[in-house]
Structure 1
Amino acid sequence: MARYYFQIVERNAVLDDLEGAELLSLQDAKREAERAIREIAAEHLQTESKLELTSIQIRDETGEILASVTYDEAMEDILP
């Protein structure tokens, strides 16, 4: 298992993930990022607050960006 870090990218800010998560593969990390984006969007809908999230960058332990999942990519299967 590898540790992946999920950096939340908003329009005017970047939120670092200091804890990360141990997952089996980068594909699992991408699925986790998609789930997180959907969860964040749902929270914003419930509170009727503006969503600033644009993507989640997936990084390894050295800080290298391995992949990025955008809001649009995470929502393409559930929004028309």
Structure 2
Amino acid sequence: MDYLDRLKIARNRKKMRQADVSHALGLKRSTYGMYETRKNKMDVETFGEICRLLDVTPNQMLGFEPWDENE
């Protein structure tokens, strides 16, 4: 599992759709969707904003800190 898989799980836990995340960040839904499907790479700032929105830390999403994806 990589950070994009973890971000998708975190988004689903918050009961957010891709459209919800993209709207909150001022992105096109297709842009955010391409991040999750690995068709486009996000910059570090966007990654941090997504983590804040989803109430997770970048270190958790990168696998450097414990995070229970089943919670």
State whether TM-score is above 0.5: no
Bin for the TM-score computed over the shorter chain = under 0.3
Question: If each structure's strand is expressed as a fraction of its own residues, which one has the higher value?
Answer: 1
Question: If each structure's helix is expressed as a fraction of its own residues, which one has the higher value?
Answer: 2
TM-score, length basis structure 2? 0.27
TM-score, length basis structure 1? 0.25
